[in-house]
Structure formats: C-alpha cells, structure tokens
Amino acid sequence: MARKYFIKTFGCQMNVNDSEKMAGLLEGLGYERAESPEEAEVIIVNTCSVRAKPDNKAYSFIGNLKRIKRKRPETLIAVAGCVPQKEKEQILRFSHVDLVFGTFNFVKLPQLLEKAKEKRTVEVLDRVIPEEEKIPLIESSLENPFVAYVTVQRGCNRFCTYCIVPFTRGRERSVKPELVVEEVKRLAEKGVKEVHLLGQNVDFYNYRGTQLPELLYLVSQVPEIERVRFTTSHPAGFTEEIAKAIRDIDKVCPYVHLPPQSGSNEVLKRMNRGYTREEYIEKVKMLKEIVPDVALSGDFIVGFPGESLKDFEETLSLVEECVFDQGFVFEYSPRPYTKAAEFEDDVPKEEKNRRLRELQELLKRQAEERNRKLIGKVEEVLIEGFSPKGTELYGRTLNNKPVAVKGEASLIGKTVKVKIEESSPFFLKGKPV
C-alpha cells in the first residue's frame, strides 16, 4: 500500500499555495494524497494567525489529531505556517505533535521529515534561507487543474498596526521574474489556463527594478496562459501604470482586490495604512476611469480600537462612493506582537458584530445590483469543473464572478461565452451561447 499524506490548510491563498508546494514535495518522495487524516502516515496542519478565529480553529484541529496518534502512534504529525512562527511553545504543549516548522523553511520539508522520524523536531527560523529561491522550482500538486497560484512576493514591510503578517512572514522579498515565468510555463504545460500572482502587497513587487506591470507583461507572454490575475493590491502602491497594464495587456483580468480597511482618516492613521480616505477614493476613481469594466473587491476591519460610530459611518460612506463587487468584513481582534494590541480594544463585541452585519448588508446590496446588471450579457467563463452539487458546471468570469453554467462535461477546462440568465449577490447562472 502506498504511503499517504494529508494536509489541512487554514488562511490565505499564500498558505494554500505553500500547501500545494508541500504536497508536491511529498509526492516527489512517493507519497499519495489521502482523503482523510485517518488514512495518512504524514499529517501537516498549515496554520494561519491573522485573526483570532483561524488561529483558534487551527488549535482545535491540532488537538483533535491526538485521537489518531493514539490509535496509530507511527503517524507523523506536523504543524507549519504562521502560528508556530510566533508561538512554537504553545504548539509544543501538544505532545502528539512530532514536527514544528514555520513559513521560512517549508522548502526543507523532506529533510525535516527525516529528522522528525528519528526524534521530535522543531525548526522555526526567523530569517530567509538561501533554499527559499528554490520554491518556484518545486512542482505544486494543484487543487484546481486549470487555475493556479504563483507566489511572486513574500513578507511585508508595512507594519499596519493590527497585522501580524510582517512578524510571521518577515520582510518583503520579490521572486526573480525569470523564475516566475519559468513556473508559469511549467504550469501551462500541465494544462493550467489561469494564474493568480500572489503577494501580501503585490503592487510593491520589485525585483531589481522590474515592477508589477512588467511582470504581468512577461507572464502573459506564455502562450497557453489565457488569464492573469494578481492579489492583494495595497492602496498606497496601486498606480496608474498598474491600471493601464490591466487595460492594455489582454490577458490581465479586470479585477482588483484593493482593501480600504476603513473609511475614516482617524482610524486609517491609527492603523498606519499610509493613505487617506480621499486618496483611496481617488485611486478607485482613477482605476474605474482607466478600466471601466473592472470589478472591485476589498477587506474591511470593523471595531478597530477607538472606532467611533462616526468613524464607522465614514466607512459606510466610502463604500457608497466607491461601489464594490465583493467585500470581506472582519471584526477586529488584537494579535500578539502588533502595535494595536497595546491600544484599548474598546468597541464591545456586540457592537463589532452589529457593525459587521450592517457593512455586510450594504456590500451585499451593492454586489446584488452589480450582478443584476449582467443579466442578458454575454460573459467569458473559464469552466473549472462541476458545481458542488454536481448538477451544473462551474466557472468564473473575467471579473472573477462565480457562474453556474448548464452544459456538458466536455466544456471543462475551456473558456466559453455564457449568457447570464440569473443573478444573486454572490453567484450568477447562465448557459453557453
């Protein structure tokens, strides 16, 4: 019987991509993917600590693995990612965990596994290692055969006062453009049609002078690749050149994730975001002028320390002014090591939740209106597979909107023109024309 592995991933797309790379490394060692942790010889939990919620979920998932270890003591249990990067001691309290590593050294997974088979191993580094340069060369085991993530930038230098990421992923570093292109070429050979270039602040991508617009151009030169996206944009780094790259490079999709976080200048200042409400609105105006069909999405934090009702209303009015296609709202939670953890977390839990629901309601209304306008229109949809229920096909428009499509399995992996017939705030439905 083949040896099997199971990876549980929490957190952002970057963590998903790291897990795909870890899976690739394990498959290179002869392991096969298991359907459940019960069947696996190696279990990896790739953790996220950006907010209290994913952090707690990771801890409870790790706790539950004790059961498996008791039944099959030879199972190797590893915890990786952002949580151990800052709290390895807490992870080590779980006696059933054999291997702990962080975000800087997952590239060394094969060596770490060997060590952990001998004895309990903890290798959490706080510095970039030369092996990091090899990450683009690791073959990912893809979650989705047609749409793939390509990490082009790691770490963050911006130190927003609420954010733990600079502490879990270190300083910003961009991947050499040649390596990015090589990775994209290899993905294309495997049948990938769409790539998402990932970075914490991908707008600030800079490898010895090569910036994001040029990288987008280079990647879109790979013939088999039909679509290129990039995320996350930072409002302070988003330039007219980037907007023009979306307009001028055919394959670059008109979709921008540009998180404002708040619409209040007071709050933005205390968050250390590096832009004002007015500057944010100006950037969105510029983007929508240059790319009129762009879809805009964003993240918002409600209940940041000191956020008054008036501050919150300014967030609502920023949303009214900018109009979003999609928005993600988070209740503020203090994170270790961050500056804001020293501020008084003074917005009561119920009030945070009330603001969350109010903002979500507004964003939902906007999404509903934006999607309703697409009824009767023909959209290009890359069909990725079947919808979860299995009755229809599933794909995304150039604007990154999910669509359920009536059609045959032979369309999977193809880009088809779809006439939109129904809409909801989060979903479209249509049929091929």
- The answer to whether 347 touches 334, Cβ cutoff 8 Å, is no
CB crowding 236-268: b at 16 or more within 10 Å, else e: bbbbeebbebbbebebbbbbbbbbbbbbbbbbb
Residues 260 and 136: their CA atoms lie apart, in Å, by: 30
Both tokens assigned to 198: 């990932």
Long-range pairs of 271-275 with CB within 8 A, sequence gap ≥ 24: 271/160, 271/161, 271/162, 271/301, 271/304, 271/340, 272/158, 272/159, 272/160, 272/161, 272/339, 273/160, 273/235, 273/236, 274/158, 274/235, 274/236, 275/235, 275/236
11 vs 213, beta carbon nearer ligand F3S: 11
Residue least distant from ligand F3S (Cβ): 11
Residues 430 and 392: their CA atoms lie apart, in Å, by: 10
305 binds, among ligand F3S, ligand SAH, ligand SF4, none (CB under 5 to 8 A by kind): none
Smallest gap from residue 196 Cβ to ligand SF4 (A): 17
Q: Which residues bind ligand F3S (CB under 6 A)?
A: 11-12, 14-15, 48-50, 81-82, 164-165, 168-169
201 vs 220, beta carbon nearer ligand SAH: 201
Pairing between β-strand 210-211 and β-strand 206-207 as defined by DSSP bridges = antiparallel
159 vs 343, beta carbon nearer ligand SF4: 159
Query: Interface mask (CB under 6 A) for ligand SAH, residues 302-341, using x and -?
Result: ----------------------------x-xx-x------
48 vs 253, beta carbon nearer ligand F3S: 48
Residues 120 and 128: their CA atoms lie apart, in Å, by: 23
50 vs 242, beta carbon nearer ligand F3S: 50
82 binds, among ligand F3S, ligand SAH, ligand SF4, none (CB under 5 to 8 A by kind): ligand F3S
102 binds, among ligand SAH, ligand SF4, ligand F3S, none (CB under 5 to 8 A by kind): none
Q: Which residues bind ligand SF4 (CB under 6 A)?
A: 156, 158-160, 163, 165-166, 200-201, 234
Query: Interface mask (CB under 6 A) for ligand SAH, residues 157-176, using x and -?
Result: -----xx-x-----------
Neighbouring C-beta atoms of residue 274, cutoff 10 Å: 15
Smallest gap from residue 82 Cβ to ligand F3S (A): 4
Question: Can residue 15 be called a binding residue for ligand SAH (CB under 6 A)?
Answer: no
Residues 223 and 34: their CA atoms lie apart, in Å, by: 34
Smallest gap from residue 338 Cβ to ligand SAH (A): 7
172 vs 314, beta carbon nearer ligand F3S: 172
Residues 113 and 132: their CA atoms lie apart, in Å, by: 18
Question: Can residue 108 be called a binding residue for ligand SAH (CB under 6 A)?
Answer: no
- Please name which of 214, 217, 197 lies closest in space to residue 136, comparing C-alpha atoms: 197
Helix or strand holding residue 28 (H, E): helix 13-28
Question: Can residue 301 be called a binding residue for ligand SAH (CB under 6 A)?
Answer: yes
User: Contact positions toward ligand SAH, by CB under 6 A?
Assistant: 50-51, 162-163, 165, 200-201, 232, 234, 259, 261, 299, 301, 330, 332-333, 335
